[in-house]
Structure 1
Amino acid sequence: MLDVRRLYMLKTVAARGSITAAARSLALTAGAVSQQLAALRNDVGADLLRPDGRTVALTEAGRVLLEHADRILAAMEEAESAVAAVTGAVGATATLAALPSTVTRIVAPALTALGSCHPQLAVTCLIADQAQLSELALGTVDVVLGQRYHHLPDATPRGINVSPLLDDPLLVVTAADQGDDRPVMLQDLAAHDLAVPPATTDCGQAILQGCQRAGFTPTPRYVTADIAAQLALARAGLATALVPRTAIDPTTLGIRATSIADHPIQRLLFAATRHTEHANPTTTAVIAALHTAAQEGQTACLPPVQE
């Protein structure tokens, strides 16, 4: 009989691209993973992996086995969710992946509320610049607080459920003594010194394409994904930043935040989980807390914006 743990190791190696990377994410040694995969190879009687430059790739037998492994692992999670749904009990652990721009206004209030309502639930929170939907599909996280910009393609993987939280526009941020509160024409920013995220990030790509729709390709003066750094540069009068509204602390002094009048750039913030027929009470509780925090954060003391 096939060992489910070995099947998951095969899935992890396929996703990570190497045994070393898979071992790191599984908190095991590369030797231990290699040993388990060798045992899996003996179980099925066929090679499952082949060298591919500095990485490894699945053989045809490996691809076939992985297709079945995905269904087996999904069925196991479905069984766990079905039992949990019967009891209705919120579990003891969950892992949430979230964007740095959502921590102050959504994640922190949500985790505080969860601690009050479900004190037995310990939530591990992973903060990363990119939404971790691939990690969700792999099973290393339970809930992702992610984003999708409205004018960019939807890249949500199969088997992922998305629950919208709120629409979050990018605002034009300058020093408080620069300009006024009237909405800004995006094309006018072509003459500004801009502080923007790298074009390799979701936000950076959204800004790049938004500016191109407005008729120009931005030449950033400062490139950083650190929103605190972007706001510091704007506050000092050194740059104009384009920052999601939710990412701006309403108590921040020395900045002016205004909307974009002609080509708005807006992201959808969402909570994502793996699809199961039976709702898992634990992930349901996490998503409910995120939704409440998002709605309350949207209405509480927002930066002044003239629409």
Structure 2
Amino acid sequence: MLDIRRLYMLKTVAARGSITAAAQSLALSAGAVSQQLAALRHDVGIDLLRPDGRTVALTEAGRVLLEHADRILAAMEEAECAVAAVKGTVGATATLAALPSTVARIVAPALTALGADHPQLAVTCLVTDEAQLRELALGTVDVVLGQRYHHLPETAPRGVAISPLLDDPLLVVTAADGSGERPVGLRELATHNLVVPPPSTDCGQAILHACHQAGFTPTTRHVTADIAAQLALARAGLATALVPRSAIDPGTLGIRTAPIEDHPILRLLFAATRHTETTNPTTEAVIAALRTAARQNRTAHLPPP
């Protein structure tokens, strides 16, 4: 009988591209992973991996086995969820991966609420921009707080369930000048020096796409994905920033924020989990806390009546 732990190791090696990278993510030595994969190769009687430059790749047999391994691992998680649903209680641990721009206004309030409502639940939070949904598929995280910009096609990886949380517009941020939050046309920014995220990022691509749709190429003077740095440059009057509304504290001094009226740049914040037929009480509690925090954050940014 095949060992499910060895199947998971095969899946991890295939996703990471090397035994060394897989071993690091599994907190094992490369030798231990190689040993287990050798045992799996002995069990099936055919090579599952082949050298591919500095990495390794699946053989045809490896691809076939991994397809079955995915179904087996999914069935195992389904069984765990079914038992958890019968118990009806929130578990003891969960891992959340979140974008840096969501920590202050959504993640922190959500974790505070979880601590009050479910004190037995210890949530580990990984703050990262990188490959969140891949980590979800590998099982290294349980919930992802991710984003998708509205100019991109709506797609979800196979086996991933998406729960929309918040439509989060980018605001134009400049130094405070005493004027109100008058909406601005994106074309007005053609004469501004902008601070923007790198074009390789989703946000950077979204800003370039919107500016091109508005008929101009932005003048970029500063490039950084660090929102604190973007706000500091805007506060100093050195640049105009385009920052997600949920990433800005409404009480921040020294800046002026304004919505974009003609070519809005919107990102959808979502919570993602591995798809199961049975709801897992633990991940559902995390998503509920994120949803409440997102709703409260949206209310905090509404203009006064």
Shorter-chain TM-score category?
Answer: over 0.9
Q: Relative to structure 1, is the Cα distance of residues 173 and 59 closer, same or farther in structure 2, using a 3 angstrom cutoff?
A: same
What does 1:211-222 align with in structure 2 at a 5 Å threshold?
A: 211-222=211-222
2:149 maps to 149
Give the aligned residue type for 1:225.
A
1:275 maps to 275
1:246 maps to 246
Q: CA deviation at 1:304?
A: 5.9
Unmatched 5+ stretches in structure 1: none
Partners in 2 of 1:117 and 1:305 — Cα distance? 31
Partners in 2 of 1:227 and 1:305 — Cα distance? 25
Q: CA deviation at 1:154?
A: 2.5
**Does the 8 A contact of 1:97 with 1:131 survive in 2?**
no
Q: CA deviation at 1:130?
A: 4.2
Unmatched 5+ stretches in structure 2: none
Partners in 2 of 1:171 and 1:85 — Cα distance? 42
Q: CA deviation at 1:179?
A: 6.4
Q: CA deviation at 1:180?
A: 5.0
Give the aligned residue type for 1:67.
E
What CA deviation, in whole Å up to 9, does each residue of 1:192-239 have, x standing for no partner? 111111111111111111111111222411111100000000000000
What CA deviation, in whole Å up to 9, does each residue of 1:157-198 have, x standing for no partner? 111111111111000000002865221111221221111111
What does 1:1-307 align with in structure 2 at a 5 Å threshold?
A: 1-130=1-130, 132-177=132-177, 181-300=181-300, 302=301
Q: Relative to structure 1, is the Cα distance of residues 260 and 42 closer, same or farther in structure 2, using a 3 angstrom cutoff?
A: same
Question: Normalized against structure 2, the TM-score is what?
Answer: 0.97
**SS state at 1:250 partner:** coil
Q: Return structure 1 stretches of 4+ with deviation > 4 angstroms.
A: 303-306
What CA deviation, in whole Å up to 9, does each residue of 1:82-139 have, x standing for no partner? 0101111110000000011111111001000100111000000000124611111111
**Does the 8 A contact of 2:168 with 2:245 survive in 1?**
yes
Q: Relative to structure 1, is the Cα distance of residues 246 and 6 closer, same or farther in structure 2, using a 3 angstrom cutoff?
A: same
Q: Percent identity between the aligned chains?
A: 81
Give the aligned residue type for 2:47.
D
**Does the 8 A contact of 1:105 with 1:297 survive in 2?**
yes
Give the aligned residue type for 2:215.
G
Q: Relative to structure 1, is the Cα distance of residues 36 and 137 closer, same or farther in structure 2, using a 3 angstrom cutoff?
A: same
**SS state at 2:220 partner:** coil
RMSD: 1.5
**Does the 8 A contact of 2:192 with 2:219 survive in 1?**
no
